[in-house]
Amino acid sequence: MLKIFANHVHSDLSKLIIINQISVVEESKGFELRSIGKPAQFSSVSAITAASLLEKAFSGCESRVVKMNGAIYGRTASSVPKQRRRRLVMSFEMVRLDRVSSEPLYQQLYRQIREELESGSFDSSASRVPSSRVLAATLGISRPTVNQAFSKLLEEGYLQARKRSGIFVADHLPATFLKPARPATTARTEHSPRFARRVTRMTDFRSGRQLDVGVAGPPSVTFVAGLPAVDEFPIAVWERLREQVLAKKGAHLLRYASSRGEIELRKAIAAYLCDFRGANCDPDQIVVVGGMQQAMLACALALINEGEVAWIEDPGFHQARNVFAFVGAKMVPRPIDREGLVIGKCSRQNSPRLIFVTPSHQFPFGVTMSLKRRKALIEFAESRGGYILEDDYNSEFRFDGPPLPCLQGLDNAGRVIYAGTMSKILYPSLRLGFLVAPPQLVDTLVKVRAVMDQHSPAIDQATLARFITEGFFLSHVKRMRELYAQRRVFFIEQFQKWLGDYFDLEVTPAGLHFIAWLRRREDLPLFMRAREQTGVWPRSLSFFCIKAQLDPAFVFGFAAWPQAQIEQGLAKLASAVKQLKQRGPGNGSSFQIHPFSPATSSYWPSTAVRSD
Q: Same domain for 170 and 284?
A: no
pLDDT tens string 457-469: 999 999 999 999 9
Of 35-44, 304-313, 435-444, 594-603, the one with minimum mean pLDDT is 594-603
Our count of domains for the chain comes to: 4
Please check whether residue 193 lies inside any domain of the structure.
no
Q: Is residue 326 classed as helix, strand or coil in its secondary structure?
A: helix
Q: Same domain for 293 and 165?
A: no
Last residue of a domain, one of 59, 81, 103: 81
pLDDT tens string 190-225: 677 888 888 888 877 778 877 777 766 666 899 999
Among 289, 238, 259, 192, which Cα is nearest to 454's?
259
Please check whether residue 208 lies inside any domain of the structure.
no
295 half-sphere exposure, CB direction, 13 A CA radius: 27
- CA-to-CA distance for 135 and 166, rounded, in angstroms? 13
- CA-to-CA distance for 88 and 126, rounded, in angstroms? 4
pLDDT at 121: 63
Q: What is the mean pLDDT of residues 377-382?
A: 97
pLDDT at 182: 54
DSSP state letters, 63-131: HHHHHHHSS--SGGGGGS-HHHHTSPBP--TT----TTSSS-HHHHHHHHHHHHHHHT-S-TT--EEPP
Q: Same domain for 368 and 456?
A: yes
Last residue of a domain, one of 142, 159, 180: 180
Please check whether residue 137 lies inside any domain of the structure.
yes
Q: Same domain for 76 and 111?
A: no
Q: Same domain for 447 and 486?
A: no
pLDDT > 70? residue 236: yes
Categorise residue 159: left if φ over 0, alpha if ψ from -120 to 50, beta otherwise: beta
In terms of pLDDT, which residue wins out, 21 or 417?
A: 417
Q: Same domain for 103 and 52?
A: no
Please check whether residue 187 lies inside any domain of the structure.
no
pLDDT at 183: 55
State the CATH number of the domain containing residue 105.
1.10.10.10
pLDDT > 90? residue 604: no
pLDDT > 80? residue 16: no
pLDDT at 186: 55
Could you count the other beta carbons within 10 Å of the beta carbon of residue 442? 17
Could you count the other beta carbons within 10 Å of the beta carbon of residue 213? 11
Q: What percent of the chain has pLDDT over 90?
A: 62
- CA-to-CA distance for 40 and 490, rounded, in angstroms? 74
Q: What is the mean pLDDT of residues 395-412?
A: 90
pLDDT > 60? residue 602: no
Of 130-134, 173-177, 198-202, 377-381, the one with minimum mean pLDDT is 173-177
Q: Same domain for 48 and 168?
A: no
Q: Same domain for 135 and 270?
A: no
Q: Same domain for 569 and 597?
A: yes
Among 393, 611, 360, 608, which Cα is nearest to 489's?
611
Its domain, for residue 555, covers 477-610
Strands 3-11 vs 16-27: parallel, antiparallel or unpaired: antiparallel
In terms of pLDDT, which residue wins out, 278 or 185?
A: 278
In terms of pLDDT, which residue wins out, 416 or 250?
A: 416
Contact 260, 446 (CB under 8 A): yes
- CA-to-CA distance for 470 and 503, rounded, in angstroms? 45
In the sheet that holds 159-162, the strands lie side by side as 128-129, 166-169, 159-162
Q: Same domain for 458 and 344?
A: yes
Q: How confident is the model at residue 46 (pLDDT cuts 50, 70, 90)?
A: very low
Please check whether residue 266 lies inside any domain of the structure.
yes
Q: What percent of the chain has pLDDT over 70?
A: 76
State the CATH number of the domain containing residue 390.
3.40.640.10
- CA-to-CA distance for 67 and 555, rounded, in angstroms? 55
Let me know the angle formed at the C-alpha of 29 by 24 and 34, rounded to the nearest 5 degrees. 25
pLDDT tens string 88-105: 677 777 889 999 999 999
State the CATH number of the domain containing residue 503.
3.90.1150.10
Last residue of a domain, one of 62, 81, 100: 81
Rounded mean pLDDT of the chain? 81
Q: Same domain for 105 and 242?
A: no
Q: Same domain for 338 and 424?
A: yes
Please check whether residue 226 lies inside any domain of the structure.
no
- CA-to-CA distance for 530 and 446, rounded, in angstroms? 46
Please check whether residue 197 lies inside any domain of the structure.
no
Please check whether residue 31 lies inside any domain of the structure.
yes
Of 3-17, 177-191, 296-310, the one with minimum mean pLDDT is 3-17
Q: What is the mean pLDDT of residues 413-441?
A: 96
